[in-house]
Amino acid sequence: MRIRTAGVAAALTCAFLVAGCGGGDKDATTAAKASEAAPSGELVIWADDKRSAALKPFADKFGAENGVTVKVQAISKDQQTTFVTASQQGSGPDVMVGAHDWIGNLVQNGAIDPVQLSAEQSGGLAPNALKAVTFNGQTYGVPYALENLALIRNTALAPKAPATIEELVAAKTKASEKLCVQVGQNGDAYHLYPLYSSAGGYLFGTTVSGDYDPKDLGVGKPESVAAFKKIATLGEKGSGALKRSITPENSIATFTAKKCAYLISGPWAITDVKKAGIAHDISAVPGFAGGKPAQPFLGVQTFYVASKGKNKALAQEFVTNYVTTPELAVALYQAEPRPPALTAAFDQVKGGDPDLQKFIDAGKNGIPLPAIPEMAAIWDPFGKAEAAVIGGADPARTIESAGKTISAAIK
């Protein structure tokens, strides 16, 4: 008898459970249907950690004004790869925030769409920022912040801005290191470029329309050999201004520890410099005496419209008509102090932050960081050639073989 009761109880429990399970699934399905039918579209924005926090209130405001749901999701690492892979699978965002030099790769993977700005909208943007996001004659995003390298100096150690790199090397300071510019074991093409360009080198030539021409590779050409010979004089076997022991990780920290009088870095370093309470001034990266002007790369932080987003019309609306308003640019500036690309926003914040104008002035000679996909082939070999030459390797042989590696990768 007892057994039978237990059996019936067990069977009943099972039946209830099954019903429960089934019911649960049904509920889930109805819920899903209900959310689909809700009268509101959804906009998904991806940005890095800092910017997504700054974007959140504006996204909410945009959502409330327009009766749509806006989701800001933080992607903390490998944003570009994550975006391309997710887009391809159909799980990507509608709007992506990232650097302008992704454009070439994003376009070849069909991940972003061009945007159409009105004359008045494009007129409100810094001209070089607009030029940076122009690729094959199309505008591929709305820039909101600029960045470029500059020479940051500790005014207590070095009161006067050097006019040339030779002057910087010769200056007597109390610091143990002459110059903090990140090289590391495998070099850093981005931070070396101002000196390389001043010594006469170039990466890609330009076509008639002013775009970078991947068929004209400057690495390995006689100009680059001459430039690397000049750079070698600053290396470990030369004056010691450039050394591999200054790495991406320790360059800013060494400067804020007052072991360096000069630092070549960008706006992202300023927060640390200010936190360390260092009296500083900012000037353009000096070039070689009698050489060409030192050209830093201009980088532009950009809002992109994803090609495979589910809500492209809303994404275009947000990017072209909302990102071009100064309020958002100012908030993003407050999240990280890079000069806003929107002239109106720049004018609003420059009064409270004299460093901004100095960075813009230091970038006057700058050229946009190449956005063509072929640029991916440059970074690694060029950086390694730099590290080898600074370590004392033969400049001609090193840079010529780097040129060969790069042209083999580009084909």
Partner 1 sequence: MQLDGPVTARQARPAEDARRPNPFIKIVLLGLTVALAIWAAFPLIENEAWIGLAILAATTAGLLHLYLTPRHVPAKYLVPGTILLIAFQVFPVLYTASTAFTNFGDGHRGSKAEAVVAIQTASVTQVPGSTQYALTVATTGDPATGPLVFLITDPATRQVRAGDAAGLRDISATVNSAGRVTAADGYTVLTTGQASLRSKEITALAVPTGGGAIRSSGLSRAYEGKAGRLYDESCDCVRDTTTGRTWTADEGLGSFVAEDGDRLAQGWKVTVGLSNFTRVLTEPAISGPFLRTLVWNLAFALASTGGTFVLGLLCAIALHSPRVRGRILYRVLLILPYAMPSFAMLLVWRDMFNTDFGLINNLFGTDVDWFGGATSARFAVILVQLWLGYPYMFLVATGALQAIPGELSEASRIDGAGAWAAFRKITLPLLMVALTPLLISSFAFNFNNFNAIYLTTEGAPFPADNPANGATDLLITYTYRLAFGGAGAQYGFAAAISIFIFVIVAVVSAISFRRTRRQEEVYS
Nearest CA-CA partner of 100 in 138, 137, 141, 72: 141
Q: Does 186 bind partner 1 (CB under 8 A)?
A: yes
Q: How far apart are CA 46 and CA 48, in angstroms?
A: 7
Nearest to partner 1 of 11, 163 (CB atom): 11
- The span from the CA of 287 to the CA of 201, in Å, is 12
9 vs 289 by CB, closer to partner 1: 9
Hey, what are 180's tokens?
A: 């903090």
Task: Tell me if residue 132 falls in helix, strand or coil.
Answer: helix
Q: Does 325 bind partner 1 (CB under 8 A)?
A: no
The answer to the question of residue 248 lying near partner 1 (CB under 8 A) is no
Q: In terms of CB distance, is 169 or 282 closer to partner 1?
A: 169
Q: How far, rounded to the nearest angstrom, does the alpha carbon of residue 91 sit from its chain's CA centroid? A: 23
Q: Can you count the helices (H) and strands (E) in the chain?
A: 17, 15
Q: Which residue has the tokens 């082939």?
A: 377
Residue 18 as a binder of partner 1 (CB under 8 A): the answer is yes
How far apart (Å, rounded) are the C-alpha atoms in residues 361 and 284?
7
238 binds partner 1 (CB under 8 A): no
Kindly state the smallest distance separating residue 149's Cβ from partner 1, in Å: 22
Beta strands in 267-395 (DSSP E): 280-283, 297-306, 367-368
- Identity of residue 181: V
Is 397 a binding residue for partner 1 by CB under 8 A? The answer is yes
Is residue 17 a contact residue for partner 1 (CB under 8 A)? Answer: yes
Q: Of 35, 76, 108, 334, which lies in the binding site for partner 1, with binding defined by CB under 8 A?
A: 108
Binding flag, residue 76, partner 1 (CB under 8 A): no
Q: How far is the CB of 66 from partner 1 (least distance, A)?
A: 4
From candidates 30, 73, 76, 81, binder to partner 1 by CB under 8 A: 81
Q: How far is the CB of 96 from partner 1 (least distance, A)?
A: 16
Smallest distance, partner 1 to C-beta of residue 289, A: 27
Distance CA 182, CA 193 (A): 12
293 binds partner 1 (CB under 8 A): no
Q: Does 105 help bind partner 1 (rule: CB under 8 A)?
A: yes
According to the binding rule CB under 8 A, does residue 104 interact with partner 1? yes
**Is 41 a binder of partner 1 (CB under 8 A)?**
yes
Instruction: Tell me whether residue 282 or residue 389 sits nearer to partner 1 (CB atom).
Output: 389
Q: Any contact of residue 317 with partner 1 (CB under 8 A)?
A: yes
405 touches partner 1 by CB under 8 A:
yes
For residues 352 and 330, give the distance between their C-alpha atoms in angstroms, rounded to a whole number.
12
Shortest gap between Cβ of 290 and partner 1 (angstroms)?
A: 28
β-sheet bridge partners, residue 180: 263
**CB closer to partner 1, 39 vs 290:** 39
Cross-strand pairs, 299: 147
Interface with partner 1, residue 107, by CB under 8 A: yes
Q: Which of 154, 265, 302, 398 binds partner 1 (CB under 8 A)?
A: 398
List CB contacts of 330: < 8 A, sequence separation 6 or more. Answer: 340, 345, 348, 349
244 is a contact residue toward partner 1 (CB under 8 A) = yes
Cβ contact 186:384 at 8 Å: yes
Torsion, Cα 38 44 50 54, to 10 degrees, reads: -50
* Token duo for residue 380: 């690694």
- Which residue among 53, 99, 109, 258 contacts partner 1 (CB under 8 A)? 109
Q: Is 84 in the site for partner 1 (CB under 8 A)?
A: yes
Structural contact between residues 189 and 402, judged by C-beta atoms closer than 8 angstroms: no
Nearest distance, CB of residue 231 and partner 1, angstroms? 14
By CB under 8 A, residue 110 contacts partner 1: yes
Does 122 contact partner 1 by CB under 8 A? no
Of 278 and 387, which CB lies nearer to partner 1 in the complex structure?
A: 387
**Contact at 8 Å (CB) between 369 and 212?**
no
Residue 207 interacts with partner 1 (CB under 8 A)?
no
- Segment contacting partner 1 by CB under 8 A, of 149-157, 293-301, 317-325, 328-336: 317-325
- Per DSSP, helices labelled H in 180-325 are 189-198, 222-233, 251-256, 270-275, 312-316
